[in-house]
Structure 1
Amino acid sequence: MLELSILGFLSEEPLHGYELKERIKALSGHVRPVSDGALYPAITRLVTAGLLDQHTEPGSSAAPRRILSLTGQGRETLLERLRHPKDVEITDQVRFNTLLAFLRHLPDRHEQAAVLRRRLDFLDTPTSFFYRDERPVRAEETADLFRQGMLRVARATGEAERAWLAEAITQLES
């Protein structure tokens, strides 16, 4: 998701590394922090692959700043990743939120709706944090106060997300 975040933010405007790191941190850093040891090697890989351009500008102090921008190939890669996200990018909430943050860059509304439909289909599949006899356990079926809390919050969140997804899909397909 780090590479998707890099491509997504740079599709909006050229940025220097620190600005890019701050935007990624704001998007998912509270859940999955981004370190310089992960960010800068990812940037180097994307530059080497021809997905990013970089040039140096004078900094606000004495140090020059490396400015990054998306290439045409980088934009095509971003669009392809948005059109065809991996299953884990649909099933993992943080990864899906990262996908949502940039889905507006996909120009075809029906393709946007198809991604949302995949998430809705996933959410409609019965699941739980806990199972008994290979069957998902519901909040009402456990006496553990804390597991009840987990399950109730997950159910409420899931209901709200399913309602939004249904509305968004209808709007995109109309």
Structure 2
Amino acid sequence: MAHDVMGLAALAVALVAPSLARALGLGGTYAAGAALHLVGTGVLATGADSVALTVVALAVIGAGLPACFVPLFGIGTSHVKVAESGVGSGLLNTFNETGAALGIAVIGTVLAASVDSRLDDGGSVADATAAGVGNGFLALTVCSGIALVVALVLRSPTCAPEGADA
């Protein structure tokens, strides 16, 4: 169910992402996506007991995905010369995939270390798992906060010129 909620939210935002990019600029759209991630992961980091709140938080995260990824490639290639566009987009894809793999490794390590620590302290498997997942989402919240700061700092240089299509 979680994947369905995130996927539907991502699809809905992906359909309007070009309009958002025109209205907010690429940097503004990326900042909005990072803010959505920050809110969604922040809610899940608190260990919310409500299924409805968890579903809403996952939908918010899902909505933030295309709001980040759609403008990311425009921002990343906006200063690349046409003759070098293949190399530029290839590097962007490489960094994107490397970042995703690194993120999964770091978050997985935080989660596993938290679970092991709680189990070593005599906690139940359910309690240890909940703590591990909460700490994993806390690490994601920190990453989302960093992404939002970067987006806000870079927003000015990534704004489209007046009258230009994003």
TM > 0.5: no
* Higher RCO (Cα < 8 Å, 6 or more apart): 2
Specify the structure having the higher radius of gyration (Cα).
Answer: 1
Structure (1/2) with the larger helix percentage:
2
Structure (1/2) with the larger strand percentage:
1
